Amino acid sequence: MHSNGNGNGICDVTIIGAGPAGLFGAFYAGLRELKVKIVDALDEPGGQLAALYPEKFIYDVPGYPRIIARDLVKCLVDQTMMWKPIMSLGERVQNLNRNPDGTLTLVSNRGEHHSRSVLICGGVGAFTPKKLPSPEFVPYENKGLYYSVKEKSAFRGKNLLIVGGGDSAVDWALNLKDYARHVTLIHRRDQFRAVQSAVTELMHSDVEVKTPYELKAVGGNSQVQTATIFDNRTKEEMTIPVDAVILTLGFNVDLGPIKEWGLDMIGTRYIKVNRKMETNIPGVYAAGDIGAEEGIEPLNLIAVAFSQACMAVNYMYQYLNPGAKAFPGHSSEKKL
């Protein structure tokens, strides 16, 4: 799956991004018997689910009361591969050009891809974790100081400090409390930005929550052994024994070269789309976290991304087959 390369000939649909929206979009394009290719800069499918939090529980996917991110990716890949799309992974798209005949050419760091239509499912673009400004933290990175969690088992039986007040901080505190010996969560404000039901669960758990506290320093011989935290109102400091610190400070995101493709944008973060998920370039669509309608607050949720990918592909089918219906019929009536 990882080495199918550029494939031969022109595809009906080329999808940029192999996150949830891209994978489900590829499945739906296959359902409509379109020739599909997926191109992604990462070496494995799944987008942020695979790269940042593969062992995190996800609670808002229809049909799953809760599912681990890695398992959701596996299910999406299995579903998508029913139609055997061409997968070009580890490949970053740099340019998009519309040709005189209406076809599209994607230029990547490895070559060119030719397609009759393109669906951009690039999520938030390239993402890198926000880091603490002090260079004193750098030597401890991946030596007890982490910006993401790849394996929960790595924290089994450890004293753990989590820094942050958003969904990731609260979710990891709840996910790891039964693995770690003790979990402390600090946040620089009294108010959390996470889903209220999760905050309520956190406050009724055995996680030690300290607000408004910030991290001042970590210490130890080559590995993190202590953390110095302080109350940002009184400036009172305390040093606590920890084996690991997880920093969930958000991410710096950049759409990179996509901003240079001639697409109408909303600010620097979103590609402007209409109700059919069309961009201003004929044959180019966008779905998931990367697209937004003018005047409507985006809902960057996996459930919404699935819906948008489904809508985009069905209207792409109509674009590719003028006069055809966008409505695909019910999948229960098809032989899969």
Residue 232 makes CB contacts below 8 A (sequence gap 6+) with 188, 212, 213, 214
* pLDDT tens-place string over residues 169-181: 999 999 999 999 9
What pLDDT sits at residue 213? 98
Number of H helices and E strands in the chain, helices first, is: 6, 23
Q: Provide the 8-state DSSP code for 188.
A: S
Q: Which two tokens stand for residue 120?
A: 């951009």
Nearest to 29 by CA among 79, 98, 75: 79
Spatial contact of 44 and 89, defined as CB atoms under 8 Å apart = yes
* pLDDT tens-place string over residues 104-146: 999 999 999 999 999 999 887 877 788 888 899 999 999 999 9
d(CA 88, CA 2): 7
* pLDDT tens-place string over residues 291-319: 999 999 999 999 999 999 999 999 999 99
Domains and CATH numbers, the chain: 13-127+252-333 (3.50.50.60), 131-249 (3.50.50.60)
The percent of residues in the chain predicted with pLDDT above 90, rounded, is 79
What pLDDT sits at residue 8? 56
Q: Which two tokens stand for residue 271?
A: 């590609």
* pLDDT tens-place string over residues 150-164: 888 889 999 999 999
* pLDDT tens-place string over residues 55-100: 888 999 999 999 999 999 999 999 999 999 999 998 999 999 999 9
Bridge partners of 263, per DSSP, are: none
Q: Which two tokens stand for residue 51?
A: 């790269």
Burial group, residue 205, by CB count within 10 angstroms (0-12, 13-18, 19+): middle
What pLDDT sits at residue 128? 75
